[in-house]
Amino acid sequence: MKTFHCGSLVPGCDWHTRADSEAEVVSRVVDHLRQSHGETTIRPSIIEQIKERMSDEQNAA
């Protein structure tokens, strides 16, 4: 499971998401950046920053 916390990219934002695939997390983050932060252009460098800040979440037993 991949997780992403928006505050790691946009200080002060408490939004976070998680999904099984990296691609799904990136898609959700891009949607969030557009809707909540007014981003109109998502450059490849932003995608790379999202991927760098993504982490693996271990399922609790």
Burial class (CB within 10 angstroms; exposed 0-12, middle 13-18, buried 19+) of 29: buried
Half-sphere exposure of 27 (CA within 13 A, CB side): 6
Q: Could you count the other beta carbons within 10 Å of the beta carbon of residue 54?
A: 20
Could you list the pLDDT tens digit for every one of the 61 residues in the chain?
A: 999 999 999 999 999 999 999 999 999 999 999 999 999 999 999 999 999 999 998 764 5
Q: What is the pTM of this model?
A: 0.90
Confidence at residue 59, expressed as pLDDT on a 0 to 100 scale: 62
Tokens of 21: 């695939």
